[in-house]
């Protein structure tokens, strides 16, 4: 006797008005059990693509027009003569010449310029002076 005949026989015996299709659906339903235990979800399996930021042309090297000098986030280095700043703060050479990194005492900023031999900006002896050295230099300028 198969299961369908058994269910219909039992339902007919108990109550002739009972709908056996409901019972049949319950009995014929396939149950799938988990084959593995749940391990939870991991949160650290994401990684972003590298951005390749940094100084591309060093101090004293020759840059042609359109060369990328610095790729940066925010304005760590500011543009000066012969250098353009893009929307993403990339500094690009606007003319041919030697790249000069220098520190502007008045604005207290690290600057990048292109020296083509016609004009040289005021360059501090030390490339990146400390804060105390900057303050001393400003005081000396005020006293003069």
Please report the pLDDT score of residue 54 as a whole number.
94
Compute the distance between CA of residue 18 and CA of residue 43 in angstroms, rounded to an integer: 52
DSSP-derived secondary structure for 8-21: HHHHHHH-TTS-HH
Distances (CA, A) of 97 to 22, 59, 114: 87, 11, 6
Binned average pLDDT, 10 residues per bin, the chain of 144 residues: 57 56 56 69 81 93 94 94 94 93 87 80 59 81 78
Compute the distance between CA of residue 8 and CA of residue 22 in angstroms, rounded to an integer: 11
Other beta carbons within 10 angstroms of residue 122's beta carbon come to 10
Q: Tokens 């090297």: give the residue.
A: 61
Compute the distance between CA of residue 78 and CA of residue 72 in angstroms, rounded to an integer: 11
Residue whose C-alpha is closest to residue 71's, from 51, 98, 101:
51
Task: Please name every residue paired with 115 in a beta bridge, in sequence order, or none if there are none.
Answer: 98
Please report the pLDDT score of residue 8 as a whole number.
58
């Amino acid at each position: 006797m198969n299961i369908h005949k058994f269910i219909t026989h039992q339902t007919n015996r108990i109550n002739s008005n009972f709908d056996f299709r409901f019972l049949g659906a319950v009995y014929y339903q396939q149950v799938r059990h988990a084959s593995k235990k749940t391990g939870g979800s991991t949160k650290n399996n994401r990684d972003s693509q590298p951005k390749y930021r940094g100084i591309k042309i060093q101090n004293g090297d020759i840059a042609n027009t359109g060369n990328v000098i610095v790729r940066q986030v925010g304005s760590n280095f500011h543009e000066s003569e012969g250098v353009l700043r893009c929307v993403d703060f990339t500094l690009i050479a606007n003319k041919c010449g030697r790249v000069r990194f220098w520190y502007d005492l008045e604005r207290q900023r690290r600057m990048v310029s292109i020296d083509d031999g016609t004009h040289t900006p005021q360059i501090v002896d030390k490339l990146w002076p400390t804060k105390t050295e900057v303050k001393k230099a400003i005081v000396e300028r005020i006293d003069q």
